[in-house]
Structure 1
Amino acid sequence: MKNEITEKPLKGLSVAIGAGVLAGLAATAAITLSQTIEMSLTKRSPSTTPVDAVSKVLSLKATKKAKKGKVSQEIHWTYGTAWGIPRGLISLTGLRGWPATLLHFAAIWATELTMLPALDVAPPVTDENPKDVAIDALHHAVYAVAAGLVYDAIDNNE
């Protein structure tokens, strides 16, 4: 891919975005599984934060309570899949493997920790229970590692 970036930059960008989308989809499946296991262990209910956040960003009335869970899952999958694209773009800088995964994790989690409180759909991290913060970090680490492994596997097969 290094030669494609310099010789055919649009092809390199296209491959990075396409592989990023696939990595984001796989990573969303991984974080969903992680959250499902955690919710069954902790008896936590599914979150409606995704639909609450999108409703605020787009100035839309939130969906009916009965449909909030379904819409939240749709947003979760779309948002998670889209976050694979930055993983692909990171690779265009030449960063690969664990350093790229760590940067991707930092970008994802920092976005959540700033965006959700700013939208007033989650408390600031300083007001959260440390156990809940650790669980959230773990889920996002699962996402970033899965995205990194899938992206690097695709990138290495070119």
Structure 2
Amino acid sequence: MKREITEKPLTSLSMALGAGVLAGIAGTAAITISQLVEMSITKRSPSTTPVKAVSKVLNVKPTRKDKNEKVSQEIHWTYGTAWGIPRGILGLTGLTGWPATLLHFAAIWATELTMLPSLDVAPPITEEKPKDVAIDALHHAVYAVAAGLVYDAIANEV
């Protein structure tokens, strides 16, 4: 369904942003489950990269080192939820379905692949093992697909 800006553009924008936030929550839940399953298989520890990145950007740190994992999860959920907003904006332009999901995935993953190495909290993709790159891409694809399905379901109902 093509979403158009009607005679009430603020209403259209509000609906797209609200549906985007809900889609971001769904995507974050999906990537969290994906990561938990992967960590149980690979025996990988939870990442503290989110807290490292935010610490560098905002020059803040958790009050205690044992809180890094908890703060990382809070950042993970906030960041993932916020990424639903661009999905809503894509829907507002009329782009929906798999094309919007693919563009959303590309934006999310490209941001990670650029931002984290620039903050020195993750190595560049060229220095990662192919298996780790594939796992990371899979997690972000799970996010984008879940967010896209939820956004499109909401947008088709309003």
TM-score (normalizing by structure 2): 0.96
Corresponding residue for 2:131? 131
SS at match of 1:13: helix
Tell me the distance in 2 between the aligned counterparts of 1:135 and 1:124. 15
Quote the offset at 1:119 in angstroms: 0.4
SS at match of 2:31: helix
Tell me the distance in 2 between the aligned counterparts of 1:67 and 1:144. 28
* Structure-2 change in CA distance of 1:62 and 1:127 (3 Å): farther
Gaps of 5+ in 2: none
Q: Is the 8 A contact 1:52 1:62 kept in 2?
A: no
Corresponding residue for 2:109? 109
1:6 pairs with 2:1: no
Percent identical pairs in the alignment equals 80
Corresponding residue for 1:66? 66
Corresponding residue for 2:32? 32
Tell me the distance in 2 between the aligned counterparts of 1:144 and 1:74. 19
| Total equivalences in the alignment | 157
* Structure-2 change in CA distance of 1:139 and 1:63 (3 Å): farther
* C-alpha RMSD of the superposition: 1.0
Letter in 2 for 1:23: A
Tell me the distance in 2 between the aligned counterparts of 1:132 and 1:72. 20
SS at match of 2:59: coil
1:50 pairs with 2:50: yes
Alignment deviations for residues 40-62 of structure 1 (CA, whole Å, 9 cap, x no partner): 00000000000000000001235
SS at match of 1:6: coil
1:143 pairs with 2:143: yes
Alignment deviations for residues 45-98 of structure 1 (CA, whole Å, 9 cap, x no partner): 000000000000001235422000000000000000010000000111111100
Corresponding residue for 1:82? 82
Corresponding residue for 2:98? 98
TM-score (normalizing by structure 1): 0.96
SS at match of 2:6: helix
Q: Is the 8 A contact 2:3 2:91 kept in 1?
A: no
Gaps of 5+ in 1: none
Tell me the distance in 1 between the aligned counterparts of 2:3 and 2:36. 38
